Amino acid sequence: MEFYNLKLVTWFESQVIYHALAHLNREALILCSPATPYVCAGYHQDMASEVDLKTCKEQNIPLFRREVGGGLVYLDHRQVFFQLVLNRKNPDIPSNRERFYRKLLEPVVQTLRDFDLSAELRSPCDLIINSKKISGNGAGQIGESNVLVGNILLDFNYEVMASIIRVPSEGFRQEYLHQMQANLTTLQSEMGRAVSSEEVIERLKSNFSGAFSLTSTELDNQVLEQIRKLTPMFQSEAWLMEDGRRLHYREIKVAENCYIREYQVTLDGTNLTCCLVLTDQQIAKITLSASNCLIPPLLLRQLECSLLGKKMDFKILNEACFEAHALNPYNAKILALTLSGKNVTDTA
C-alpha cells in the first residue's frame, strides 16, 4: 500500500488528494493536516441548510463537500487526518459496516492508547476517551474504492465551530456549544500538554504498518493530473450547493450518542418550538416555548417534565404528552408524531 506522509498541506489538498487516489483506484494511506481552516460537509448533506454561509464568508473560511459520508466538520492545523483508500475487491476488508470500522480504526485506537489514554470505539465509528469523542470518522465509496477518512483532535476551537453552523435560534447555537464542550475532547485536554502533529503521525504510521504493508512515496504525475481534473468540480458552485438531505426539523450531531434537534409544531393556532438534546435516543434535555399564551408556561413545564427521559418512540411520547394534561388528545398526538418523525397517517 502506498503511504503518503504529507504533513502540512493546503486546506484544499487535504481533501482532494485522497479523492484523486480513490478515482485512480490506488490503495493508499495518507496522513496530513491542513495549513489553514475550512469547513467540510458530508456527501449527503445540504450545505445551505447546514452552514452559516455569511459567517464563513466574513471569516474567510472556505467550504468543501466531500464524496464521503459523515457530518459537517470544522478543520484546521490542530487536527491530524488519516485517510485510507482501499480497493472494493480487497478480500481483507470486511463488507460488514461495523466490522469494517472496527478493523480499520484499530490502528487509530492503538495510537491513542500509545499516549496512555483509555481509547475505545463507540459503534459505529466514533473513537472516545472517557465517553468523550476525540476522533470522528466517515466512509464511502468513490469509484472502485472504499474510503475511510478521520481525524484526531490535538486541540479544537469550539466557539468557531458553533459560529459557522446554520441554526434556527441562538439558543440552539448555545446548546450546541455546550454539548460540544461536554461531549468532545482533545489530546491537549487529556494529556495536559500540547501534543505535536509529528508525535501523532509517527504513532499512526507505526500502527498502520502493523495492519498494512506500507511503501513511502510522493505524489506522482498521475495523481497530480487527477487532482487537476477533479479541481473544477470540487470548486464549482453546483457541486458545493447541490441539494442534499433535508429534514423537517433542524438536527446537529455532536457525537454518536448525542444529537440536538429543534422542531416547529403548530397546535391549534400556537406555534410551539421544541428544542431537544438526545442521548442514546432518549430525551436528555427539553425546552418548549410557545408563540403566544394559549399554552400557559406552567403547562409547558409540565409537558417538559413528562417528556424528559423518554425514548423517541411514538407510543411512549404520545402517552407522555397525554398524561401531562397540557394538551388535548389530538394535539398530544400531533406533538408525539412530530417528535418521533412519523406522519399522521402512520397511526391512523
CATH for 257-347 is 3.30.390.50
Work out whether the CA dihedral 191, 197, 198, 203 comes out positive or negative: positive
Domain residue spans of the chain: 2-240, 257-347
Percentage of the chain lying above the pLDDT 70 cut: 98
* Statement: residue 306 has pLDDT above 90: yes
Fold equal for 2-240 and 257-347: no
Please check the confidence at residue 348 and state whether its pLDDT lies above 50: no
Q: Is 325 left (phi over 0), alpha (psi -120 to 50) or beta?
A: left
Provide the 3-class DSSP secondary structure of residue 281. Answer: coil
The answer to whether residue 8 scores a pLDDT higher than 70 is: yes
- Contact of 233 with 219, CB cutoff 8 Å: no
Residue 140 has which C-alpha cell?
464511502
pLDDT at 70: 87
What is the band of 347 on the pLDDT scale with cuts at 50, 70, 90? very low
- The percent of residues above 90 in pLDDT, for the chain, comes to 92
Sign of the torsion angle spanned by Cα atoms 83, 88, 93, 96: positive
Q: How far apart are CA 277 and CA 249, in angstroms?
A: 13
Enumerate the β-bridge partners of residue 148: 84, 139
Put the strands of the sheet holding 38-41 in their side by side order: 63-65, 38-41, 73-75
Strand partners, 261: 251, 276
What is the three-class DSSP state of 27? coil
List of residues 6+ apart from 88 with CB closer than 8 A: 141, 144, 145, 146
Evaluate the omega torsion of the peptide bond into residue 329 and state whether it is cis, within 30 degrees of 0: no
Confidence of residue 292 (pLDDT cuts 50, 70, 90): confident
Burial zone of 4 (CB within 10 Å; 0-12 exposed, 13-18 middle, 19+ buried): buried
248 pLDDT tier (thresholds 50, 70, 90): confident
127 Cβ neighbours under 8 A, 6+ residues apart = 105, 108, 109, 112, 119, 120, 121, 133, 134, 135, 137, 150, 152
Are 29 and 17 contacting, i.e. CB atoms less than 8 angstroms apart?
no
- 3-state secondary structure at position 188: helix
Nearest Cα neighbor of 176 from 278, 264, 79 is 278
8 A C-beta contact, residue 20 and residue 230: yes
Inform me whether the pLDDT recorded for 19 exceeds 70: yes
What does the alpha-carbon distance between residue 264 and residue 257 come to, in Å, rounded to a whole number?
A: 23
Burial 285-314 (b: 16+ CB within 10 A, else e): bbebebeeeebeeebbebbbebbeebebeb
The upper half-sphere exposure of residue 21, i.e. CA atoms within 13 Å in the direction of its Cβ, equals 26
> Span 2-240: which CATH code?
3.30.930.10
Cell triple for 183: 461531549
Distance CA 120, CA 132 (A): 10
Which among 142, 108, 114, 147 has a CA at the least distance from the CA of 128?
108
Report yes or no: 77 and 33 within 8 Å, Cβ to Cβ: yes
Strands (E), 27-69: 28-34, 38-41, 63-65
Residue 148: pLDDT over 90: yes
Q: Model confidence at 344, in pLDDT bands (50, 70, 90)?
A: low
